[in-house]
Amino acid sequence: MTSDELKARIADDGVEFIYAMFVEMHGKPCAKLVPVTAIDDLLDVGAGFAGFAAGPLSQTPADPDILAIPDPASYVRLPWQPNVAALQCDPTVEGEEWPYAPRVILKRALARAAEQDLVLKAGVEVEYSLLAREADGSLRPADERDTSALPCYDARGLTTALDHLTTVSRHMDAMGWGNYANDHEDANGQFEQNFGYAGALTTSDRLIVLRLMLHTLARRRDLYATFMPKPFADKTGNGLHTHLSLWSAGTDEPLFHDDDDPRGLGLSGLAYQFTAGILDHAAGLTAVVCPTVNSFKRIGVGPPDSGATWAPAYAAYGGNNRTQMIRVPEGGRIECRIPDGSANPYLAFTALLAAGLDGVARGADPGDPNVDNLYTLPIDEVRARGIEALPPTLLHACDRLVDDDVLRAGFGTGRDGDYVDYFAEVKRAEFRAVTDQVSPGEVDRYLTLM
């Protein structure tokens, strides 16, 4: 879309204001509200931000402004605020794209893939919890009657949330995303709403807008929409199951499907190589796709009240088996089940693409698919098969990330050094800040133990 086409679209849509948006490392949406009377300046110059104030972007208070340059292709009118539209932007500093900006990082990774005639397409399953706050400050499911021990797919819980869910669905369709399913998930107050797959950059842009929409609609009802991986210790966590496939950049031909797959999963040799790459780099990329201290309370084998975590514990793959890190639900695509709701999609896709393409470059093979229930397989048997456990904490995952040369190269470098070192520095500080706190549970357990 050209600038003139964008301005015509804005006029046709009756838009009066534009969110000029980008995200920092954590995925927080940063924006300025720009009136359309200033659209020429926005398109020509960008929107100015003090990068240090925005969040982790490897900026200091002494740095010059970030100028966020809009991507016209990302334009979308926001149906819940009909006179407002959003444009995702690429942060620049002194005329150059800023290499610590997540969207810039993903764009560069996709450009390298395009040099190999490859396009990454992706879909995400967006899980979130809809919560209310009690007078004492505690949180509970928005629907006080949503108390079933097995709430997944419960039509009653779905019906209670119908106004909210159908509003979100209609807004997705109004933005052209193609909402195709909405369900009550495995935890009380937990829902999943899905939209059609697209290129990885477009899917990332849409996820950022969707999160903003869900937060906004929840607040209007005096509720909280949270993507926190594990808001309740005894309930299933919020994942971001990610479906991936490679396509030809030149012909738009899908490259992951093969009806003659001897392993019977409907995958091509390229798909197996890509899968092997992700598995080989699973430990390091876990820091990126599970990027909070809380993330590591979601993954593992210990079941919540519903009986299963629905999250992986080991770097393994197989067919339609939800105990795997990588599941193959049908031929032509793979589902990576480790990412959670706190993942920054731009960084997550960068990590997955770098890992997968390394597998392609090496002609790697993931071995035969696992057919067992990995939640119940004895740990000695897991080890005997050479299946690696995922890191137990964010600190362990960061250590593996900085030691991974493939992921290091995939994220690139900038003025202050390699991005993975900056990422790990921020996340290690986050780990210390959270784990240095003395929790009520620790007091209950240890106060009179000795």
Sequence spans of domains, the chain: 3-93, 110-439
pLDDT for residue 253: 98
In sequence order, the 6+-apart residues with CB closer than 8 A to the CB of 56 are: 24, 25, 26, 100, 422, 426
pLDDT band per the 50, 70, 90 thresholds, residue 450? confident
pLDDT band per the 50, 70, 90 thresholds, residue 438? very high
Structure tokens of 181?
């399913």
* φ, ψ dihedrals at 445, nearest 5°: -80, -40
Q: Is the pLDDT of residue 304 over 80?
A: no
The predicted model gives 357-385 an average pLDDT of: 95
pLDDT band per the 50, 70, 90 thresholds, residue 1? confident
The predicted model gives 138-152 an average pLDDT of: 94
Chosen CATH of 3-93 out of 3.10.180.10, 3.30.200.20, 3.40.50.800, 3.10.20.70: 3.10.20.70
The predicted model gives 405-430 an average pLDDT of: 98
Mean pLDDT of all residues belonging to the chain? 96
pLDDT for residue 306: 66
Q: Is the pLDDT of residue 189 over 70?
A: yes
Residue 243: closest CA among 205, 272, 203, 187: 203
β 84-93/96-97 pair status: antiparallel
pLDDT band per the 50, 70, 90 thresholds, residue 300? confident
Residue 283: closest CA among 329, 351, 346, 217: 351
What class does CATH assign to 110-439? alpha beta
